[in-house]
Amino acid sequence: MSDTPYRGRFAPTPSGPLHFGSLLAALASFLDARQQGGTWMLRMEDLDQPRVQPGAADSILRTLEHYNLYWDGDIRWQSQHLPHYQGILQGLLDCGLAFVCDCSRSQLSTTNGIYDGHCRDRKLGNTADRAVRLRVDNAETGFTDRLQGPFSQHLEADVGDFVIRRRDGIIAYQLAVVADDIQQQINQVVRGADLLDSTPRQLWLYQKLDARPPHYLHIPLAMRSDGNKLSKRLGSPPLSDKGAAQTLFLALQVLQQAPPAEAQGTPVSELLEWAVRHWNPHRLPACTQLPADILPTHLA
Protein backbone atom coordinates (compact mmCIF):
# COMPACT_ATOMS: atom_id res chain seq x y z
CA MET A 1 0.00 0.00 0.00
CA SER A 2 1.10 3.58 -0.71
CA ASP A 3 1.69 6.13 2.05
CA THR A 4 -0.90 8.34 0.31
CA PRO A 5 -4.16 8.47 2.31
CA TYR A 6 -6.57 5.81 1.09
CA ARG A 7 -9.52 7.04 -1.00
CA GLY A 8 -11.99 4.40 -2.13
CA ARG A 9 -15.57 4.37 -3.36
CA PHE A 10 -18.65 2.28 -4.07
CA ALA A 11 -20.48 3.15 -7.28
CA PRO A 12 -23.83 1.41 -7.79
CA THR A 13 -26.20 2.00 -10.70
CA PRO A 14 -29.71 2.91 -9.46
CA SER A 15 -31.40 0.45 -11.81
CA GLY A 16 -32.85 -1.57 -8.94
CA PRO A 17 -32.29 -2.46 -5.28
CA LEU A 18 -29.04 -3.96 -4.05
CA HIS A 19 -28.75 -7.76 -4.11
CA PHE A 20 -26.28 -10.07 -2.38
CA GLY A 21 -23.64 -9.63 -5.08
CA SER A 22 -23.84 -5.85 -4.62
CA LEU A 23 -23.40 -6.34 -0.87
CA LEU A 24 -20.20 -8.34 -1.41
CA ALA A 25 -18.70 -5.54 -3.53
CA ALA A 26 -19.83 -2.78 -1.15
CA LEU A 27 -18.64 -4.67 1.91
CA ALA A 28 -15.20 -5.53 0.49
CA SER A 29 -14.70 -1.94 -0.62
CA PHE A 30 -15.86 -0.55 2.73
CA LEU A 31 -13.71 -2.90 4.82
CA ASP A 32 -10.62 -2.27 2.71
CA ALA A 33 -11.01 1.49 3.18
CA ARG A 34 -11.93 1.48 6.85
CA GLN A 35 -9.12 -0.85 7.91
CA GLN A 36 -6.66 1.53 6.27
CA GLY A 37 -8.28 4.48 8.06
CA GLY A 38 -9.28 5.74 4.64
CA THR A 39 -12.11 7.63 3.01
CA TRP A 40 -15.00 5.66 1.49
CA MET A 41 -17.16 7.60 -0.94
CA LEU A 42 -20.48 6.83 -2.60
CA ARG A 43 -21.22 7.55 -6.25
CA MET A 44 -24.51 6.99 -8.06
CA GLU A 45 -23.79 6.01 -11.66
CA ASP A 46 -27.04 7.41 -13.03
CA LEU A 47 -25.94 8.62 -16.47
CA ASP A 48 -27.95 5.95 -18.29
CA GLN A 49 -31.31 7.46 -17.42
CA PRO A 50 -33.39 4.87 -19.35
CA ARG A 51 -32.02 2.23 -16.93
CA VAL A 52 -32.64 4.27 -13.79
CA GLN A 53 -35.55 2.89 -11.80
CA PRO A 54 -37.65 5.34 -9.77
CA GLY A 55 -36.95 4.89 -6.08
CA ALA A 56 -33.89 2.67 -6.63
CA ALA A 57 -31.38 5.24 -5.37
CA ASP A 58 -33.32 5.75 -2.14
CA SER A 59 -33.56 1.98 -1.73
CA ILE A 60 -29.78 1.63 -2.17
CA LEU A 61 -29.08 4.32 0.42
CA ARG A 62 -31.46 2.74 2.95
CA THR A 63 -29.86 -0.67 2.46
CA LEU A 64 -26.32 0.64 2.92
CA GLU A 65 -27.39 2.42 6.10
CA HIS A 66 -29.18 -0.71 7.33
CA TYR A 67 -25.87 -2.59 7.04
CA ASN A 68 -23.98 0.29 8.71
CA LEU A 69 -22.05 0.95 5.51
CA TYR A 70 -21.87 4.70 6.00
CA TRP A 71 -20.04 6.76 3.39
CA ASP A 72 -17.93 9.90 3.74
CA GLY A 73 -18.88 13.28 2.31
CA ASP A 74 -21.59 14.04 -0.20
CA ILE A 75 -22.93 11.52 -2.68
CA ARG A 76 -21.70 12.14 -6.22
CA TRP A 77 -24.48 11.90 -8.81
CA GLN A 78 -23.04 11.44 -12.28
CA SER A 79 -26.08 13.10 -13.87
CA GLN A 80 -25.03 16.37 -12.19
CA HIS A 81 -21.62 16.42 -13.88
CA LEU A 82 -22.46 16.26 -17.59
CA PRO A 83 -20.52 19.45 -18.48
CA HIS A 84 -17.38 17.93 -16.93
CA TYR A 85 -17.64 14.78 -19.06
CA GLN A 86 -18.47 16.78 -22.18
CA GLY A 87 -15.41 18.96 -21.63
CA ILE A 88 -13.12 15.93 -21.41
CA LEU A 89 -14.76 14.40 -24.48
CA GLN A 90 -14.32 17.57 -26.51
CA GLY A 91 -10.69 17.85 -25.43
CA LEU A 92 -9.99 14.32 -26.66
CA LEU A 93 -11.67 15.13 -29.99
CA ASP A 94 -9.81 18.42 -30.37
CA CYS A 95 -6.38 16.81 -29.98
CA GLY A 96 -7.17 13.91 -32.31
CA LEU A 97 -7.19 11.21 -29.63
CA ALA A 98 -10.87 10.49 -30.31
CA PHE A 99 -13.04 10.48 -33.41
CA VAL A 100 -16.69 10.38 -34.43
CA CYS A 101 -18.15 7.05 -35.58
CA ASP A 102 -21.46 6.12 -37.23
CA CYS A 103 -20.92 2.34 -37.41
CA SER A 104 -24.01 0.29 -36.60
CA ARG A 105 -24.27 -2.80 -34.44
CA SER A 106 -24.78 -4.89 -37.55
CA GLN A 107 -21.44 -3.67 -38.93
CA LEU A 108 -19.70 -4.51 -35.66
CA SER A 109 -21.22 -7.99 -35.65
CA THR A 110 -19.10 -8.87 -38.69
CA THR A 111 -15.92 -8.26 -36.64
CA ASN A 112 -17.02 -10.15 -33.52
CA GLY A 113 -17.62 -6.85 -31.75
CA ILE A 114 -13.98 -5.75 -32.09
CA TYR A 115 -13.87 -2.36 -33.74
CA ASP A 116 -11.90 -2.39 -36.99
CA GLY A 117 -11.12 1.33 -37.25
CA HIS A 118 -13.63 1.97 -40.05
CA CYS A 119 -14.33 5.60 -39.10
CA ARG A 120 -10.88 6.56 -37.83
CA ASP A 121 -9.98 8.77 -40.76
CA ARG A 122 -13.43 9.70 -42.09
CA LYS A 123 -13.56 12.98 -40.11
CA LEU A 124 -17.30 12.77 -39.55
CA GLY A 125 -19.17 15.67 -38.02
CA ASN A 126 -19.94 15.42 -34.32
CA THR A 127 -23.72 15.06 -34.53
CA ALA A 128 -25.94 13.85 -31.71
CA ASP A 129 -26.75 10.51 -33.37
CA ARG A 130 -23.11 9.44 -33.72
CA ALA A 131 -20.78 7.77 -31.26
CA VAL A 132 -17.35 8.99 -30.22
CA ARG A 133 -14.50 6.48 -29.93
CA LEU A 134 -11.05 6.71 -28.36
CA ARG A 135 -8.11 5.67 -30.51
CA VAL A 136 -5.99 2.78 -29.21
CA ASP A 137 -2.86 1.00 -30.39
CA ASN A 138 -1.74 -2.59 -30.00
CA ALA A 139 0.84 -2.09 -27.27
CA GLU A 140 0.23 -4.22 -24.22
CA THR A 141 -1.81 -2.37 -21.61
CA GLY A 142 -1.92 -4.04 -18.23
CA PHE A 143 -1.62 -3.87 -14.48
CA THR A 144 -1.20 -6.13 -11.47
CA ASP A 145 -4.43 -6.61 -9.57
CA ARG A 146 -4.08 -6.90 -5.80
CA LEU A 147 -5.95 -10.22 -5.90
CA GLN A 148 -6.06 -11.52 -9.47
CA GLY A 149 -2.42 -10.78 -10.29
CA PRO A 150 -1.13 -9.59 -13.68
CA PHE A 151 -3.77 -8.83 -16.32
CA SER A 152 -3.26 -7.19 -19.72
CA GLN A 153 -4.77 -6.71 -23.15
CA HIS A 154 -3.60 -5.61 -26.58
CA LEU A 155 -6.42 -3.13 -27.00
CA GLU A 156 -6.38 -2.83 -30.79
CA ALA A 157 -6.63 -6.60 -31.25
CA ASP A 158 -8.79 -7.42 -28.24
CA VAL A 159 -11.21 -4.48 -28.19
CA GLY A 160 -10.48 -1.90 -30.87
CA ASP A 161 -11.08 1.84 -30.56
CA PHE A 162 -13.71 1.96 -27.83
CA VAL A 163 -16.80 4.07 -27.29
CA ILE A 164 -16.63 7.02 -24.90
CA ARG A 165 -19.96 8.53 -25.97
CA ARG A 166 -22.76 6.31 -27.20
CA ARG A 167 -24.88 6.93 -30.28
CA ASP A 168 -27.80 7.88 -28.06
CA GLY A 169 -25.69 10.72 -26.64
CA ILE A 170 -25.03 9.09 -23.26
CA ILE A 171 -21.47 9.35 -21.94
CA ALA A 172 -20.07 5.83 -21.84
CA TYR A 173 -19.12 4.09 -18.62
CA GLN A 174 -15.41 3.94 -19.45
CA LEU A 175 -15.08 7.73 -19.72
CA ALA A 176 -17.38 8.59 -16.82
CA VAL A 177 -15.74 6.23 -14.32
CA VAL A 178 -12.24 7.51 -15.10
CA ALA A 179 -13.34 11.15 -15.03
CA ASP A 180 -15.05 10.61 -11.67
CA ASP A 181 -12.16 8.73 -10.09
CA ILE A 182 -9.71 11.44 -11.18
CA GLN A 183 -11.90 14.26 -9.89
CA GLN A 184 -12.60 12.48 -6.59
CA GLN A 185 -8.90 11.54 -6.25
CA ILE A 186 -9.75 7.85 -5.88
CA ASN A 187 -6.57 5.81 -5.48
CA GLN A 188 -7.98 2.41 -4.46
CA VAL A 189 -10.75 0.61 -6.35
CA VAL A 190 -12.33 -2.57 -4.99
CA ARG A 191 -15.02 -3.96 -7.30
CA GLY A 192 -16.37 -7.11 -8.94
CA ALA A 193 -14.30 -9.23 -11.31
CA ASP A 194 -16.84 -8.62 -14.08
CA LEU A 195 -15.04 -5.29 -14.56
CA LEU A 196 -11.56 -6.80 -14.79
CA ASP A 197 -11.44 -6.70 -18.58
CA SER A 198 -12.62 -3.05 -18.60
CA THR A 199 -9.58 -1.99 -16.63
CA PRO A 200 -7.04 -1.85 -19.52
CA ARG A 201 -9.37 0.53 -21.37
CA GLN A 202 -9.61 2.70 -18.28
CA LEU A 203 -5.83 2.64 -17.87
CA TRP A 204 -5.51 3.78 -21.47
CA LEU A 205 -7.78 6.72 -20.69
CA TYR A 206 -5.76 7.60 -17.60
CA GLN A 207 -2.67 7.67 -19.80
CA LYS A 208 -4.31 9.96 -22.38
CA LEU A 209 -5.53 12.28 -19.62
CA ASP A 210 -2.07 12.31 -18.03
CA ALA A 211 -3.45 11.11 -14.70
CA ARG A 212 -2.27 8.51 -12.21
CA PRO A 213 -4.55 5.42 -12.10
CA PRO A 214 -5.70 3.84 -8.84
CA HIS A 215 -4.72 0.43 -7.53
CA TYR A 216 -7.30 -2.27 -8.21
CA LEU A 217 -8.68 -5.27 -6.38
CA HIS A 218 -11.30 -7.28 -8.29
CA ILE A 219 -13.24 -9.64 -6.05
CA PRO A 220 -14.75 -12.88 -7.42
CA LEU A 221 -18.41 -12.90 -8.41
CA ALA A 222 -21.07 -14.93 -6.65
CA MET A 223 -22.83 -16.97 -9.32
CA ARG A 224 -26.37 -18.20 -9.82
CA SER A 225 -27.09 -21.86 -10.39
CA ASP A 226 -27.73 -21.09 -14.09
CA GLY A 227 -24.14 -19.90 -14.48
CA ASN A 228 -24.92 -16.18 -14.59
CA LYS A 229 -23.71 -13.66 -12.05
CA LEU A 230 -26.12 -12.20 -9.53
CA SER A 231 -27.64 -9.13 -11.17
CA LYS A 232 -30.60 -6.79 -11.11
CA ARG A 233 -31.24 -7.51 -14.78
CA LEU A 234 -31.74 -11.22 -14.10
CA GLY A 235 -33.96 -10.58 -11.10
CA SER A 236 -31.63 -11.60 -8.29
CA PRO A 237 -33.60 -11.03 -5.08
CA PRO A 238 -33.09 -7.71 -3.31
CA LEU A 239 -31.53 -7.60 0.13
CA SER A 240 -34.11 -7.66 2.87
CA ASP A 241 -34.10 -5.40 5.92
CA LYS A 242 -34.87 -8.50 7.97
CA GLY A 243 -32.03 -10.78 8.99
CA ALA A 244 -29.33 -8.24 8.09
CA ALA A 245 -26.89 -9.59 10.70
CA GLN A 246 -27.27 -13.11 9.34
CA THR A 247 -26.81 -11.92 5.75
CA LEU A 248 -23.72 -9.89 6.75
CA PHE A 249 -22.27 -12.93 8.49
CA LEU A 250 -22.83 -14.99 5.35
CA ALA A 251 -21.22 -12.28 3.20
CA LEU A 252 -18.11 -12.41 5.38
CA GLN A 253 -18.03 -16.18 5.00
CA VAL A 254 -18.35 -15.92 1.21
CA LEU A 255 -15.46 -13.42 1.25
CA GLN A 256 -13.56 -16.06 3.28
CA GLN A 257 -12.95 -13.72 6.21
CA ALA A 258 -13.65 -16.56 8.67
CA PRO A 259 -15.99 -14.81 11.11
CA PRO A 260 -16.10 -16.79 14.38
CA ALA A 261 -19.18 -18.90 15.00
CA GLU A 262 -19.93 -16.99 18.20
CA ALA A 263 -20.26 -13.78 16.13
CA GLN A 264 -23.30 -15.20 14.36
CA GLY A 265 -26.39 -13.40 15.59
CA THR A 266 -24.52 -10.39 16.96
CA PRO A 267 -25.82 -6.95 15.89
CA VAL A 268 -24.75 -5.60 12.53
CA SER A 269 -22.71 -2.81 14.14
CA GLU A 270 -20.66 -5.22 16.28
CA LEU A 271 -20.14 -7.68 13.42
CA LEU A 272 -18.97 -4.89 11.14
CA GLU A 273 -16.54 -3.62 13.77
CA TRP A 274 -15.08 -7.14 14.00
CA ALA A 275 -14.86 -7.31 10.20
CA VAL A 276 -12.97 -4.01 9.94
CA ARG A 277 -10.43 -5.14 12.53
CA HIS A 278 -9.91 -8.53 10.88
CA TRP A 279 -10.25 -7.68 7.18
CA ASN A 280 -7.67 -9.61 5.19
CA PRO A 281 -7.91 -9.29 1.39
CA HIS A 282 -5.33 -12.08 1.04
CA ARG A 283 -8.01 -14.48 2.27
CA LEU A 284 -10.14 -13.76 -0.79
CA PRO A 285 -10.07 -16.55 -3.38
CA ALA A 286 -7.96 -15.50 -6.38
CA CYS A 287 -10.55 -16.44 -8.97
CA THR A 288 -13.15 -14.49 -10.91
CA GLN A 289 -16.18 -16.65 -10.01
CA LEU A 290 -17.35 -18.41 -6.87
CA PRO A 291 -19.16 -21.77 -7.14
CA ALA A 292 -22.93 -21.42 -7.48
CA ASP A 293 -23.58 -23.73 -4.53
CA ILE A 294 -21.86 -21.33 -2.12
CA LEU A 295 -25.11 -19.33 -1.75
CA PRO A 296 -28.41 -20.29 -0.19
CA THR A 297 -31.24 -20.43 -2.74
CA HIS A 298 -33.03 -17.40 -1.30
CA LEU A 299 -30.01 -15.16 -2.02
CA ALA A 300 -29.21 -16.46 -5.50
Round the average pLDDT of the chain to a whole number and report it: 92
pLDDT in tens, 203-223: 999 999 999 999 999 999 987
**Residue 30 within a domain:** yes
Q: In the structure, what pLDDT confidence band is assigned to residue 111 with cuts at 50, 70 and 90?
A: confident
pLDDT in tens, 275-288: 999 999 999 988 88
The CATH number of residue 96's host domain is 3.40.50.620
Binding residues for Zn(2+): 101, 103, 115, 119
Does the structure show a pLDDT above 80 at 1?
no
16 falls within a domain: yes
* Binding site feature residues: 9-13, 45, 101, 103, 115, 119, 173, 191, 232
Binding-site residues for ATP sit at: 232
Q: For position 233, what pLDDT does the model report?
A: 59
Strands 39-44 and 140-145, how do they pair? unpaired
Check whether 2 has a pLDDT greater than 70.
no
Judge whether 190 lies within some domain: no
Within a domain: residue 52?
yes
| Contact (CB, 8 A) for 39 and 73 | yes
Q: Render pLDDT for 127-175 as a digit per residue (tens, 0 to 9).
A: 999 999 999 999 999 999 999 999 999 999 999 999 999 999 999 999 9
Are 225 and 253 within one domain?
yes
pLDDT of residue 242: 81
Q: Are residues 235 and 285 in the same domain?
A: yes
Tell me if 1 is assigned to some domain: no
- Residues marked as binding for L-glutamate? 9-13, 45, 173, 191
**pLDDT at site 151:** 97
Q: Which domain holds residue 276?
A: 7-79+220-299
Residue 234 has pLDDT above 80, yes or no: no
Instruction: Give the DSSP H or E segment for 93.
Output: helix 82-94
pLDDT score recorded for residue 110: 83
Calpha distance 177→64 (Å, rounded): 21
Q: Quick check: 235 pLDDT over 60?
A: no
Mean pLDDT of 31-41: 98
If asked whether residues 88 and 142 sit together in one domain, one would say yes
Amino acid 104: pLDDT: 87
What angle do helix axes 199-208 and 173-183 make, rounded to 10 degrees?
A: 60
What pLDDT was estimated at residue 286?
Answer: 84
49 and 17 together in one domain = yes
Q: Which residues face 25 on adjacent strands?
A: none
Number of domains in the chain: 2
Q: How far apart (Å, rounded) are the C-alpha atoms in residues 59 and 238?
A: 10
> Residues 295, 243: one domain?
yes
pLDDT for position 106? 84
Is 115's pLDDT higher than 80? yes
